[in-house]
Structure 1
Amino acid sequence: MRKHIVLTCLLGSLLVLGGCASKLTGDTYSREDARAPQTVRMGTVESVRPVQIEGTKTIIGPAAGAAVGGIAGSSVGGGRGSMIAGVIGAVVGGMAGAATEEGVTRSQGVEITVTEDDGQTRAFVQEAVDNVTFAPGDRVRVLTVNGESRVSK
């Protein structure tokens, strides 16, 4: 029964972590950006390369892992041994939770180097989207709103 509770808590934590991940694609806007004016610059793609965008590192992953690990560890043995196992379980669970959060929220990205019409060359990183591809020579728009830029066709 206890294993069932621990497993349920762990799976619930992973679902919460997945829901916390924000999109970094070129076609996803935050609520704050939706009605804000954007600066639009035109340019030409010079190069494109795949990159890895690291996952989030919040307190949620380690806290959930520590809770699950502490509960699982405290169920081992009895008395003082149970307390020690609970502490060790919490530490190991916290480390595992942090690694799980980062891994679950990690995403595949693309670095797009653009020479803008004013002669400036800049690189932009955003999440890769299956239906949107960029290639050298493509004409693109660079949209900037609230200090964040994205590349779009």
Structure 2
Amino acid sequence: MRKVIVFAAALSAVSLVTGCASSLTGDSYSRSDARQVQTVRMGTIESLRPVRIEGTKTPIGAGAGAAVGGIAGSTIGGGRGSAVAAVIGAVAGGLAGAAAEEGITRTQGVEITVREDNGALRAYVQAVNPNEIFRVGERVRITTVNGTSRVSH
């Protein structure tokens, strides 16, 4: 029965972490950005560079890992030994949960350097979208809303 509880807790932790990941692609908007006026600029891509976008680092991954580790640790031994194992399991689970959250939510990105029509040279970083492939020399539009900019065709 305890193995089922530990498995269910681990599954819940993974679901929480992956459910909180937001999309960083150019075609993704937050709810607060919807129906807002956007500034649109045009430009030409000067260079592209692959980058890695770090994953999220919220208390959710560490908390879920600590809960799972504590439950798993409490199944070891009995009495005082069980309590010590629960604490050690919670600490180890918290560290593992935080690392898992960052790893699961890490994504591949692209830095797009654009020479805008006004002469300004700016770089934009966004997640790679397999449906939108950019090429050097290509004309693109840059939209900005609430301080967030994205590059698109």
- Give the TM-score normalised by the residue count of structure 2: 0.97
Report the counterpart of residue 103 of structure 1 in structure 2: 103
Aligned residues: 153
Q: Deviations over 1:70-115 (max 9, x none)?
A: 1111111111111111110000000000011111111111110001
Q: Which residue of 2 aligns with 1:123?
A: 123
Deviation (angstroms), 1:34: 1.1
AA paired with 2:70? G
Q: Secondary structure of the equivalent of 2:23?
A: coil
* Residue type at the aligned position of 2:88: I
Residue 65 of structure 2 corresponds to residue 49 of structure 1: no
Q: Which sections of structure 1, spanning at least 5 residues, go unmatched?
A: none
How far did residue 126 of structure 1 move? Answer: 0.5
Q: Deviations over 1:106-150 (max 9, x none)?
A: 111111000111111111010101110111100000100000000
Cα offset for 1:16?
Answer: 1.7
Identity %: 67
Residue aligned with 1:101, SS: helix
Q: Structure 1: which amino acid aligns with 2:110?
A: V
Q: CA–CA distance in 2 between the matches of 1:52 and 1:9?
A: 30
Runs of 4+ in 1 over 6 A off after TM superposition: none
Give the aligned CA root-mean-square deviation in angstroms.
Answer: 0.8
TM-score where L is the length of structure 1:
0.97
